Chains A and B, each alone.
Chain A
Amino acid sequence: METKGIVIAGVGGQGSLLASKLLGRVLVNEGYDIKVSEVHGMSQRGGSVITYVRYGDKVYSPVVQSGEADYIISFERIEAARYAHLLKVGGIIITNTQRIDPMPVIIGSAEYPENILDELTAKGVHIEAMDALTLAEEAGSSKAVNIVLMGQLAKHFHIDYDRWISAIEQTVKPKFIELNQKAFELGYNFGG
């Protein structure tokens, strides 16, 4: 198969590392070759962070470049737009609708582009937007936004639901398994 690309975008501290860890676990369990390129270090906190996941029969580059992503998973509204150029024509953006103001907006030197997702939709981009924060809180923690979005992504994969659930068990600490499985379920069931 042709190598597939997934981009996980968010704000430093939102848990993109756990999302890519889960995705990596599932795809390894399914027998794919896979590469995941991450951003590490405390200095990224509050900044825009991006993780690349690529999988297929044989993966060379660990990074996703312009026009190569099948999916963009975004933990914040404008982060989806920031990396929209990475999306393949016909690719899908799955985004949390949460707004987190970046510092230039906070200090008034830039405006938050409220309607940027509509603009992308008008250009023909397929966007699945959801209030993942509310669902995460329903699951028990606002920090589970990452796993809620993974649940939504999972609907697009031909991988059994149970395989995702067991990958969660392999990925998170025992005391957080239940919370994350609940968050995953809520994300999976969102939008029917």
Chain B
Amino acid sequence: MKELMIGNAAVARGLYEAGVEVVSSYPGTPSTEITEFSATYDEIYCEWAPNEKVAMETAFGASLRGVRSACAMKHVGLNVAADPLFTLSYTGVTGGLVVCVADDPGMHSSQNEQDSRHYAIGAKVPMLEPADSAECKAFAKLAFEISEKFDTPCLLRMCTRIAHAQSVVELEERIVPEHKPYEKNPAKFIMAPANAIKRHPFVEERTKKLTEYAETAEVNRLEMGGTEIGIITSGACYQYCKEVFGDTVSILKLGMVNPLPVQKIKDFAGKVQKLYVVEELDGVIESHCRNIGVEVIGKELFTPLGEYSQKSIAEAFGLPAKETITPDTTVPVRPPVMCSGCPHRGLFYTLAKNKITVLGDIGCYTLGSAAPLCALDSTLCMGASISGLHGYNKAGKGETEHKSVCVIGDSTFMHSGMTGLANVAYNGSNSTVIILDNSITGMTGHQQNPTTGYNIKGDPATKINLEDLCHALGINRVRVVDPYNLEETEKAVKEELAVDEASVIISRRPCVLLKYVKPKKPVYVDKDKCRKCKRCMKLGCPSIHIDADGKAGIDKTLCVGCGVCEQLCPFDAIQAGE
């Protein structure tokens, strides 16, 4: 049967067909759907772990028990899971273990555009890179064969344009390999120095064997066409090159991007007049070619920045651009905004109004940095808000702690905020931590987490109580506010900033997009009372605009009646819907 699938769904299908029994992941765009689609197969045990490190270690445990397992994460998630990865390379596996990692060139939804291939090189593990959904499925299955044959975790590298592009996939049956019996094997699995020192030579030997495999592997495919130009490429870039050149050039398409073949590349170089490497982000294949003495044209022609396309490749080759028509008038930008009724808005308004320094974190609430709220001062990585604020306040020597806070979401707090909070308590900084508890992992599209009370299947699960958790981490002052209530929120922020000890404010209100959150009637503007002061415009709410008469107006199709603007209006012009 043929199905149109996004790459991530095809990876999930591949996991299913490969007989995978355990998948543990943390959501992150553009990797999230791998796990969501995996969870639709009842044969696979699937879960959202609190972070990528936990997810990978869970997959390790499942592999140790003898079954095939997988985990999925975005590129920056692999930073979090790098610790287990580098030593998993030494232990190898029992059941096959595949780590799916999705890069985001162009940063559609990421804080950097790091290239995951460096991890494959660093950890000395194989990495496959599919170029369409059919390959996503096929390579996911092949990754398990490689994992078991070479006794190694195997990375499957995705990127946004493969993960979120639909193409046609042929479905096959699921085949579960026989479980391997559990045998205690300290020399392989206890990575204390005496054992690890003996495993390192194994890793080096394995890389040699994998390189030999790469020389003849079918996934490293030679497509001979015209011989004037030869191109070495992989993944989405392969598609762009084919789009530009069709069969007029020769292409070495690498399905396995680590380790890279040597002889195969040298042979290819001998068959073409001029050899190019087309790869997004860093010049990894290019460096390899230079190391083995093959002359190529790479990053001097193709940028290390952003996403490629058929257009950018044609341009780099000096081919003429296609004719277009554009308007002369500038079209105003349309950045994503916090939704109407977003519970974060009232809190950010309060922080901005009081001119408080705010160290931010990763989530929908990063949008609080946008005008008109401009409420954030920093965003680094998952969890960095709390630990960053601690350092900021330590360096501030008492001058900063009464006018600075940090904000972190419920899911991000569980991911890597807890350890930062332990540090605040243990090393005693007078920091004010605000947990934005919207009862869901929002930005990646509504995934459950340990504080929501539900698991990935939507079944009831243990709900970790944030108040108790913060107390247990050594914070005495923990209070909960409703961010829809501006007065209560401002009072809490001012009081907790004033005291001379660390505190946590939990700003609690479920995401307005959750199905069980029922919108109220839209508010309306009493035009006789509106004095055109525009204070309501300071909220940056997409439901509020200024009408032609200069007075506030409400978009009834968007407004969910949260009432925050109603509290803000000094003339009672905005009123609750009837």
Give me the interface of A with B, judged by CB distance under 8 Å: 11-13, 20, 24-25, 28, 33-48, 59-63, 65-68, 78-79, 81-82, 84-89, 101-113, 115-116, 119-120, 123-125, 142
Jot down 15 A-B pairs with beta carbons below 8 A, ordered by A: A24-B166, A28-B168, A38-B164, A40-B30, A43-B29, A45-B339, A67-B322, A86-B324, A87-B324, A102-B333, A102-B334, A104-B334, A108-B546, A113-B331, A125-B325
List chain B residues, Cβ under 8 A from A88.
322
Contact partner of B332 among A35, A67, A113, CB < 8 A? Answer: A113
List chain A residues, Cβ under 8 A from B161.
37, 62-63
A66 to B166, Cβ gap below 8 A? no
Contact partner of B337 among A35, A84, A85, A103, CB < 8 A? Answer: A103
Work out how many contacts link A and B, with CB atoms closer than 8 A: 190
- From 423 to 449 in chain B, residues with beta carbon under 8 angstroms from any chain A beta carbon are 442-446
List chain A residues, Cβ under 8 A from B567.
none
B 322-346 binary contact with A (CB < 8 Å = 1; else 0): 1111111111111111110000000
Q: Report the count of interface residues on B (CB-CB < 8 A).
A: 61
- Is B190 interfacial (CB-CB < 8 Å)? no
- Is B568 interfacial (CB-CB < 8 Å)? no
List chain B residues, Cβ under 8 A from A35.
132, 165-167
- Is B291 interfacial (CB-CB < 8 Å)? no
List chain A residues, Cβ under 8 A from B339.
13, 45-46
A65 to B329, Cβ gap below 8 A? no
B 152-188 binary contact with A (CB < 8 Å = 1; else 0): 0000000001001111100000000000000000000
A39 CB, min distance to chain B CBs, angstroms? 7
Segment with Cβ contacts to A, from B113-121, B474-482, B489-497, B536-544? B536-544
List chain A residues, Cβ under 8 A from B29.
40-41, 43
List chain A residues, Cβ under 8 A from B330.
113
List chain A residues, Cβ under 8 A from B372.
107
| Nearest 9 A/B pairs, CB to CB | A67-B322, A47-B336, A62-B165, A102-B334, A110-B332, A65-B311, A46-B337, A48-B334, A36-B166
B333 to A43, Cβ gap below 8 A? no
Q: In the docked arrangement, what's the CA distance between A28 and B434, Å?
A: 49
Closest to B534 in A: A108
B306 CB, min distance to chain A CBs, angstroms? 13
List chain B residues, Cβ under 8 A from A102.
332-335
List chain A residues, Cβ under 8 A from B22.
none
List chain B residues, Cβ under 8 A from A81.
327, 329, 331
Contact partner of A61 among B32, B240, B322, B367, CB < 8 A? Answer: B240
- Is B109 interfacial (CB-CB < 8 Å)? yes
List chain A residues, Cβ under 8 A from B537.
106-108
- Is B472 interfacial (CB-CB < 8 Å)? no
Q: In the docked arrangement, what's the CA distance between A123 and B165, Å?
A: 33
Contact partner of B325 among A25, A42, A123, CB < 8 A? Answer: A123
A82 to B165, Cβ gap below 8 A? no
Please judge, given known A-B contacts A103-B334, A106-B545, whether A34 and B325 are in contact too, CB under 8 Å.
Answer: no
List chain A residues, Cβ under 8 A from B546.
108
List chain B residues, Cβ under 8 A from A78.
331-332, 334
Closest to A104 in B: B332
- From 250 to 303 in chain B, residues with beta carbon under 8 angstroms from any chain A beta carbon are none
Contact partner of B544 among A37, A85, A106, A113, CB < 8 A? Answer: A106
Closest to A91 in B: B325
B 443-459 binary contact with A (CB < 8 Å = 1; else 0): 11110000000000000
B310 CB, min distance to chain A CBs, angstroms? 5
Closest to B237 in A: A61
Please judge, given known A-B contacts A84-B327, A89-B325, whether A111 and B332 are in contact too, CB under 8 Å.
Answer: yes
Closest to A105 in B: B332
B 49-93 binary contact with A (CB < 8 Å = 1; else 0): 000000000000000000000000000000000000000000000
List chain B residues, Cβ under 8 A from A110.
332-333
Contact partner of B239 among A61, A79, A115, CB < 8 A? Answer: A61
Identify which of A11, A35, A78, A87 gathers the most chain B CB atoms within 10 Å of its CB. A35
List chain A residues, Cβ under 8 A from B167.
33-36, 59, 62
- From 325 to 373 in chain B, residues with beta carbon under 8 angstroms from any chain A beta carbon are 325-339, 364, 367, 370-372
A12 to B336, Cβ gap below 8 A? yes
- Is B527 interfacial (CB-CB < 8 Å)? no
List chain B residues, Cβ under 8 A from A39.
108, 164
Closest to B326 in A: A85
14 more A-B residue pairs beyond the given contacts A25-B4, A40-B29, A120-B327, with a C-beta to C-beta distance below 8 A = A39-B108, A40-B445, A43-B29, A59-B167, A60-B243, A62-B161, A62-B167, A62-B239, A63-B161, A66-B311, A85-B326, A105-B332, A108-B537, A119-B328
A101 to B331, Cβ gap below 8 A? no
